[in-house]
Structure 1
Amino acid sequence: MRFLKIDPFLLGLLTSVLLATVVPCHGAAVPVFHWLSVGLIALMFFLQGARLSRKAVLDGVVAWKLHLLILACTFVLFPLLGLAAHALFPGLLQPDIWMGVLFLCCLPSTVQSSIAFTSIGGGNVPAAVCAATASNVFGIFITPVLVGLVLSQHGQATGNPLDIVYQLLLPFILGQVLQPWLGAWAHRNKKILSFSDRGSVLVVVYAAFSDAVMQGLWHRLPLAELGLIAVVDSALLFAVLGLTIFGGRLIGLPLKDEIAVVFCGSKKTLASGVPMANVLFPPASVGVIVLPLMLYHQIQLFVCAVLARRFARLSAAQENTPAMPVRKAG
């Protein structure tokens, strides 16, 4: 039940936000943190490419129907739900916050927690590994396109497309090219590189919120707005969980595959989402835009921890139920 506890990474994020609120970077420090963020984002996606084995890519092709279903939940169902919510309640949240919700809907799934919850629930872990990996790989290419399509419908502009190429795509491709030489080293130092990834995100969050604070973030964002963001995030999560459970049973998925679809299809990555936001949006908007994602991250951990235990009981009951004997004719 460790996922019911507050994630240390989330505590680090909250500390970064608090530090940016009390001591925001300004003046000569702004360009320093800007270029530091650019370099750390490029390094992060380079290491992602270096860590991803060719076998993981090839394994993702095997159960292609299951993976397509998970990808459809991540990159089709979520954006459609976000657009529907915005169309039905356009005045519920501030425009920048709605932009953050729509950005959240376009992000890929997580890897670690998707696999962990699938394992706890007794689901198809190999499929979860492949699906979550595929979601993150495709997300590097799909998310910028989706964000551009979704936000263009509301007259919102994203960042320079060349920044996306230079900071996200090229470092990832270079890491994948060098993977045969760097893969073993990256695997051996996985924990150290994980701290590097999270440290990069914390720096980006500090720089983004510093800019937002200097623009008067907390003066124009009342506490009640945070509560509304949590309500919208929760509604999105429960809608996707309900639809994936119902859809999996409607098409007759085995319970193990259903569990993988539910947990991989409902997650959104914070670790990649914050750097992507830093590339896709103007600096003054990033701090506000990532707020819905930061809240969704913790909500999904709490809710899915409870759901994983329930799935674990269902899986255990199914395994302990003896198969009905087949009666021969005559």
Structure 2
Amino acid sequence: MSLRRAEAVLARFGFDRYMLLLVLTVVLASVLPARGAMAAGLSHVTYWVIALLFFLYGAKLTTATILAGLANWRLQLSVLALTFLLFPLLALALKPLSMLWLPSAVGIGFLYIGCMPSTVQSSIAFTAVSQGNVAAAICAASISNLIGVVLSPLLFALLIPQGSGYGIDPSAIWKIVQQILLPFAVGQLCRPLLSGLLNRYRTPTMIVDRGSILLIVYSAFSAGVVNGIWQVISVPSLAVLVALCLILLAAVLAAALLIGRTARMPHADLMAVLYCGSTKSLATGLPMAGILFAGQDMSLIILPLMLFHLLQLGVCAIISQRMAGRLDLRPA
């Protein structure tokens, strides 16, 4: 079987090159983890790559897109309610189950999923494939991430049980602003100079987007392997975590559909709500975790978010492909 045919077969089940690269990155970190000076150097490189990523996000987002998306207030409020209200409540409700079979750090990571903002690139891509409202999706995902820079750490601080041993230093929020929000703002200021170039050459932005996530995953799991993560997490524990992530994802997808249909949204808006309201950002969540959980069991804490991210990509890819197929079969 050729490489292209194998990729086509995997794509039917929601697996693309990016997902495979994520899995291979974890395998690489497990076999050849970064240690000592290499780990320290990787940490510095990752910091600036993430700053570059959000600078590019800022440079690409047009003011017209923001205003057009904000005009659809029902859609925007629906996405924000799913992301920062329903998600945290569901994660909080499922956390006791995670604590029955999983280490406490993984249970904390499950709460962390609920507090994260929406994805940017993938939710927009899935909306486009499903013939949804792309402009509104761009606006919803971007607003979610900008609000999440401050709201996500605050939400997480509220959800952490007292006496759990995990806490958030207030100065961490300022560090997150410096690494994420400030580069985004500078990118917005530079947008008149760079927008044409970035629209013509999309590949470099995609490489920075995907590459920054792979770097963080490799760095975090390298530290985890050095500290014995795979001695703490067993195969049955991973199965339990996957099941809980699937339950969480299914509940939010169902809620998104219910909200959209109850509000009688058109198909295009419903698709934007479905994908923007049910996905969680690894690009924002990982650098934020690196600041919030410095010196703690970061590899265990981010493991639930990583698995959820992989699952959401697979499930949403399947949904979007089937949705596109149904739309193509509609009579003209």
One of 26, 37, 51 as aligned partner of 2:35: 26
One of 113, 136, 139 as aligned partner of 1:104: 113
CA shift digits 1:128-160 (9 cap, x unpaired): 233223223333333233223323655521353
What's the CA shift for 1:220? 0.8
Alpha-carbon contact 2:14-2:318 (below 8 Å) kept: no
Max radius of gyration: which structure? 1
Amino acid at match of 2:231: H
CA shift digits 1:85-137 (9 cap, x unpaired): 11465323221111222111111222333233333334333332332232233
What's the CA shift for 1:311? 4.2
Taking only aligned residues, the RMSD between alpha carbons, in angstroms, comes to 2.5
How many Å separate the matches in 1 of 2:128 and 2:177? 35
TM-score, normalising length: structure 2: 0.86
2:3 is aligned to: none
2:59 is aligned to: 50
* Partner SS state of residue 268, structure 1: coil
Q: Please tell me whether residue 156 in structure 1 is matched to residue 166 in structure 2.
A: yes
How many Å separate the matches in 1 of 2:229 and 2:108? 15
What's the CA shift for 1:274? 2.1
Question: 1:44–1:158: structure 2 CA closer, same or farther, 3 Å change rule?
Answer: farther
How many Å separate the matches in 2 of 1:306 and 1:220? 32
What's the CA shift for 1:228? 0.9
Alpha-carbon contact 1:211-1:284 (below 8 Å) kept: no
One of 133, 148, 156 as aligned partner of 1:124: 133
Question: 1:69–1:272: structure 2 CA closer, same or farther, 3 Å change rule?
Answer: same
What's the CA shift for 1:227? 0.7
Question: 1:307–1:19: structure 2 CA closer, same or farther, 3 Å change rule?
Answer: closer
Q: Please tell me whether residue 146 in structure 1 is matched to residue 162 in structure 2.
A: no
2:18 is aligned to: 9
Amino acid at match of 1:33: L
What's the CA shift for 1:41? 2.0
How many Å separate the matches in 2 of 1:121 and 1:183? 26
What's the CA shift for 1:240? 0.7
The runs of 5 or more residues in structure 1 that have no matched partner are 322-330
The runs of 5 or more residues in structure 2 that have no matched partner are 1-7
Question: 1:251–1:60: structure 2 CA closer, same or farther, 3 Å change rule?
Answer: closer
Amino acid at match of 1:98: G
Q: How many residues align?
A: 320
Alpha-carbon contact 1:158-1:282 (below 8 Å) kept: no
One of 232, 236, 249 as aligned partner of 2:244: 232
TM-score, normalising length: structure 1: 0.86
Alpha-carbon contact 2:118-2:278 (below 8 Å) kept: yes
One of 213, 217, 223 as aligned partner of 1:211: 223
1:1-330 correspondence to structure 2 within 5 Å: 2=11, 4-87=13-96, 90-151=99-160, 156-158=166-168, 160-309=172-321, 311-312=323-324
2:5 is aligned to: none
What's the CA shift for 1:233? 0.6
CA shift digits 1:271-315 (9 cap, x unpaired): 332222222222542222222222222222332234335545765
How many Å separate the matches in 2 of 1:22 and 1:54? 46
Amino acid at match of 1:177: L
Alpha-carbon contact 2:146-2:181 (below 8 Å) kept: no
Question: 1:3–1:289: structure 2 CA closer, same or farther, 3 Å change rule?
Answer: farther
How many Å separate the matches in 1 of 2:291 and 2:196? 29
Alpha-carbon contact 1:4-1:302 (below 8 Å) kept: yes
Question: 1:176–1:142: structure 2 CA closer, same or farther, 3 Å change rule?
Answer: farther
Amino acid at match of 1:213: V
How many Å separate the matches in 2 of 1:152 and 1:51? 39
What's the CA shift for 1:5? 4.2
Alpha-carbon contact 1:255-1:315 (below 8 Å) kept: no
Amino acid at match of 1:171: P
Question: 1:162–1:84: structure 2 CA closer, same or farther, 3 Å change rule?
Answer: same
How many Å separate the matches in 1 of 2:203 and 2:18? 14
Alpha-carbon contact 2:98-2:244 (below 8 Å) kept: no
Question: 1:193–1:237: structure 2 CA closer, same or farther, 3 Å change rule?
Answer: same
Question: 1:39–1:127: structure 2 CA closer, same or farther, 3 Å change rule?
Answer: closer
Question: 1:124–1:15: structure 2 CA closer, same or farther, 3 Å change rule?
Answer: same
